[in-house]
Amino acid sequence: MNLVFLDSYALNPGDLAWTPLEGYGPLTHYPRTKPEDVVQRAAEADILITNKVRLTEEVLTQLPKLRLICEAATGYDNIDVAAARRLGIAVTNVPAYSTLAVAQHTLALLFETTNHVGHYAAINAKGAWSNQPDFAYWEPERPLVEVSSLRVAVVGYGHIGEKVAEVLLALGAEVYVVTSRPATDLPEGARKATMEEAFAECDVVSLHCPLRDSNRGFVNEALLAKARRGLRIINTARGGLIDDAAVARALHEGRLAAYCTDVMQPEPPAADNPLLTAPNAYITQHIAWASSAARQRILDIMHQNIDAFLAGESLNRV
């Protein structure tokens, strides 16, 4: 049985073993694959693994040997699942592998806006502390803020949103949740809110919702016009949820205190994306998911998915 991984580098640049996948037969892994090379590279694959490479109906119809597509992530919008079903190709994904990693990164972005660790560490190289007359030094324009003093809205209450809310409650924050789930599903101390209430009343809005056609670019000028002045927005969900120009404009005008994101649209972002030069934009390079433990979980869960498929069972089918 031939396995082909079309874009393996982000998952495993060399620090993890391929052992879980090599037991099924020959494994060919390409660091990256251009769209025009997909069919040629996947032609002999019985099992095809992809992370971000798009598998369209046009591509899938040219792969008659293909039996299983393994999405090496939770989201699978890069695969035409309907076409795969019509062609008799099973599709699996890897759910909930990054819950702890992404929740941790979300809090790291929040803490950067409340404690400014990166800023204060950087200015020490310029003598900021050494030249002070007092034992402690901070800048009045960058006050230190306790999370317990904040109202934080969690938008989307899946695995990651639930974990973020749990940690925020433990830190004493006042937590609002924007979700379609009933209020009885929320933990003690959390309050259900609408999107408008979240943006108008909270100090922080943290996005954890999937990207759909219905919410693409919903953080736009109209919503930001209703937002509380000084709002911090954190996005570890999808870059497509954001109208980049509108958010950049709100940062320049001081209406937003910060925009913290690990995701952009597209990725990597265009060099002229206005967020890259906006003040108080804290941007990391889609790394929230990428702890070694989380990446190992991806390999382990894909191994389980393939085992189940070969045994005629359904595990993590989409």
- Tens of pLDDT, residue by residue over 205-261, are 999 999 999 999 999 999 999 999 999 999 999 999 999 999 999 999 999 999 999
What is the predicted pLDDT for the residue at 276? 98
Q: Mark out the alpha helices in 9-116 (DSSP H runs).
A: 19-22, 38-42, 57-60, 81-86, 99-115
| Predicted local distance difference test score (pLDDT) of residue 202 | 98
- pLDDT score, position 158: 94
Question: How much of the chain, in percent, has pLDDT values that exceed 70?
Answer: 100
Q: Which amino acid is at 218?
A: F
Residue with tokens 């007359």: 133
pLDDT band at residue 287 under the 50/70/90 scheme: very high
> Which of 208, 232, 238, 295 is flagged as catalytic?
238
pLDDT value at position 13?
A: 97
- In this prediction, residue 77 carries a pLDDT of 87
**Annotation marks residue 208 as catalytic:** no
Checking if the pLDDT of 25 tops 90, the result is yes
pLDDT at position 165: 98
Does residue 268 have a cis peptide bond before it, meaning omega lies within 30 degrees of 0? Answer: yes
Ramachandran bin of 286, using left for φ above 0, alpha for ψ from -120 to 50, beta for the remaining angles: left
- The structural domains of the chain, ordered by start, are 3-97+292-310 (3.40.50.720), 99-283 (3.40.50.720)
Q: Would you call 105 a catalytic residue per the annotation?
A: no
Mean pLDDT of 176-191: 96
Ramachandran angles phi, psi of 299, nearest 5°: -60, -40
Return the bridge partners of 6, or none.
none
Catalytic residue among 267, 303, 313, 317: 267
pLDDT at 51: 96
- Is residue 29 within 8 Å of 5, Cβ to Cβ? yes
62-71 own/partner pairs: CB under 8 Å, 24+ apart: 63/39, 65/2, 66/42, 67/309, 68/92, 68/306, 68/309, 70/302, 70/305, 70/306, 71/318
Q: How far apart are CA 117 and CA 246, in angstroms?
A: 27
Residue 20, pLDDT > 90, answer no
Residue 95 has pLDDT above 90, yes or no: yes
pTM for this structure? 0.92
Using 50, 70 and 90 to split pLDDT, how confident is the model at 152? very high
pLDDT at 309: 98
Cα–Cα nearest to 316, from 305, 307, 69: 305
pLDDT (0 to 100) of residue 289: 96
Angle between helices 99-115 and 292-310 (to 10 degrees): 160
Contact, 198 vs 218, CB < 8 A?
Answer: no
Task: Judge whether 252 counts as a catalytic residue.
Answer: no
User: Which residues make beta-bridge pairs with 178?
Assistant: 155
Pair 92, 309: CB distance under 8 Å: yes
Residue 201: is it exposed, middle or buried by C-beta count within 10 angstroms (0-12/13-18/19+)? middle
CB 231 within 8 A of CB 257: yes
> Residue 178 — very low, low, confident or very high, per pLDDT cuts 50/70/90?
very high
> In the prediction, which pLDDT does 75 show?
87
Query: Across all residues in the chain, what is the average pLDDT?
Result: 97
Of 159, 249, 286, 317, which one is the catalytic site residue? 286
Paired tokens of 163: 């974990």
Q: Cα angle at 173 between 168 and 179, to 5 degrees?
A: 65
